[in-house]
Structure 1
């Protein structure tokens, strides 16, 4: 199961994509959010992998601030990021009898020029958690959970970074969008090589190229770039480790609508173009769900279920989209949608679900037993961009 990256620039008024209503672990077992009880906010953990979803409130000794970040861990505890007196304080919350237990993890003190410190999306292993402190010229990657010694400074990355997408299932390769020299390019941070940074996405020298979502099984990545239309960002897709061109389908370019991918179907190792992708659609009349596959030239629009925690959800390998929902009548629920068949997958169509496998990853200089590193998508030059 794959969930969307968190855009660090997505605060209201900054022009970034809207934030999701909750955060879900990489394997889809737990979710966490800030819930409102009366006038007070408190963390809430959802269990999603049982027969029925259920929520456990985790109120602390005092209400949380509205901007407090919460993130579920793989063992069911909830990481909380609070800001107090200029310090970023991290704790793990867990249910204990009728109350809430809290394990302090320590704090990160940032220099005054730091403009933001945000949690990155849940790590694939569910045992660790990371945060990115963003300054005007450099960004610092921190591990804030998973180490008994407290928050650990892992790497300093030149440039102003945002986003955050995991490219593998071990939690080694992290993609971020780095702004330097007035341009934004996606780069890879290798956590097992001391935070070494290498290029990932550069379509042209003068384009802003961001990575939004990745599936480690198929290599499918969703990107946003202004390479096809300078000054106008468009949603596109590519395949890591392939020389196939980056494509920008016309069906994903909707006027007066913000389109944000938030989940991709896992398990499609040889057929990235057949992966189902769930899209959050935000327009003048609210939010709804879009379903799309790279093989198709249309987006299927689906009304959002009542109480959808907009932007949150997971896709299963079997093509079921699970959307967490909360209403006064059902404060913890999951709506399940089946992704429609493509025309040639439909039973009785005579077609086949098999496709020609894309080219595999190129050889790299990473010594064994390290996994191959991503091949930069700049191998698909602008002259080969496909927009239909």
Structure 2
């Protein structure tokens, strides 16, 4: 089976080939998967998260994995693995079989062009399919790599170089990508049920780079990165899918010498995007920690991450508990439950077990927001927000 091949996941140089995504979690929060390390060797590991206590199942193959290998959990408990060998990407499903590891071969994707980079997209909402994009010089190929009938299937060819990848609905039909064309990056929507039909999602200004980082299908809340307020300096903002209100760029999401990356939005807040809690990874000179923020509460709460946090990984429960996976020598599979500040309130204190985490600091005083009128989220492009209407408070 022919298809296209994956960008290296090491970003720290050859001496420290740590995977970019240390832990991938299914959309329903049931399973997680990561590459674990045993000395100098890497092996896939599946975590079960929906029981009374989290537990890990190692899924080693007949030989150690390369550090750039990608893994992704499926809703049935199997783990998708992508292995690269000379521009050929082989996909398999791994599953425990008593003391061993079973493996179902799915086929391969080949990229003859050495400049083509292939990567897995975030887990699909249904948990039964998995997708990848192969980014070439002038176009991006979208592939279904698991859940098809005959192995990897080429779904669409999208003009331009695409990055990112955010699901906009619970069905796994509408996929948002950040497409670079003519030196500018704009978020687009790809309709998987209409042959990969592309439509614009976000354009704040003609000359700005506008990316979609995260979305919640229940409330329609979108987390956005754009340099429209400050050319050349991307800032975090928020909007609502299908709303006519402008994108807003709160000052509370602007920290000097710190990088903020949203990784999880509280689900279940139907028609209440302003009340959704957002988990952010904060990176600074001395490590990474956790931020919690809500549109209706213009205040960024900064929380100490648990030791061994698989940084950038986590999920919210509907009742507002932030769960963060971590692995230490003493506890190789753990989940910390953070007691986060309520909307408009003060921190409630440290986290409870399955791990531990405590409040470290808060940002400046909150301001009363303009509450957007609730609108039903729908998988259609966000209306354009002219630069003159940007809100930066």
User: Structure 1-normalised TM-score?
Assistant: 0.89
2:301 & 2:344 partners in 1: Cα distance? 13
Aligned length: 361
Residue matched to 2:227? 226
Residue matched to 1:350? none
Q: Is the 1:203–1:209 contact (alpha carbons within 8 Å) kept by the matching residues of 2?
A: yes
| 1:121-152 Cα deviation digits (max 9, x unpaired) | 00000000000000110000000000130000
Q: Secondary structure at the match of 2:379?
A: coil
Residue matched to 1:80? 81
Structure 2 gap segments, 5+ residues each: 1-6, 14-18, 349-370
- The verdict on how the C-alpha distance between 1:223 and 1:205 changes in structure 2, with shifts beyond 3 A counting, is same
Residue matched to 2:200? 199
Residue matched to 2:69? 68
C-alpha RMSD over aligned residues: 2.0
| 1:232-278 Cα deviation digits (max 9, x unpaired) | 10000000011111000011111111100000001111210110000
What is the aligned counterpart of 1:384 among 371, 379, 389? 389
Q: CA deviation at 1:360?
A: 4.1
Residue matched to 2:138? 137
Residue matched to 1:37? 38
Residue matched to 1:92? 93
Q: Secondary structure at the match of 1:307?
A: coil
Q: Is the 2:143–2:154 contact (alpha carbons within 8 Å) kept by the matching residues of 1?
A: yes
Is the counterpart of residue 310 in structure 1 residue 311 in structure 2? yes
Q: Secondary structure at the match of 1:118?
A: strand
| 1:343-384 Cα deviation digits (max 9, x unpaired) | 37999xxxxxxx7742446xxxxxxxxxx5323341x21111
Query: Which fold has the larger relative contact order, with Cα–Cα distance below 8 Å and residues 6 or more apart in sequence?
Result: 1
Residue matched to 1:369? none
Is the counterpart of residue 293 in structure 1 residue 294 in structure 2? yes
Q: Is the 1:221–1:238 contact (alpha carbons within 8 Å) kept by the matching residues of 2?
A: yes
Q: Is the 2:204–2:386 contact (alpha carbons within 8 Å) kept by the matching residues of 1?
A: yes
User: Which structure 2 residues correspond to residues 20-35 of structure 1 after superposition, within 5 A?
Assistant: 20-35=21-36
Is the counterpart of residue 151 in structure 1 residue 149 in structure 2? no
1:41 & 1:138 partners in 2: Cα distance? 33
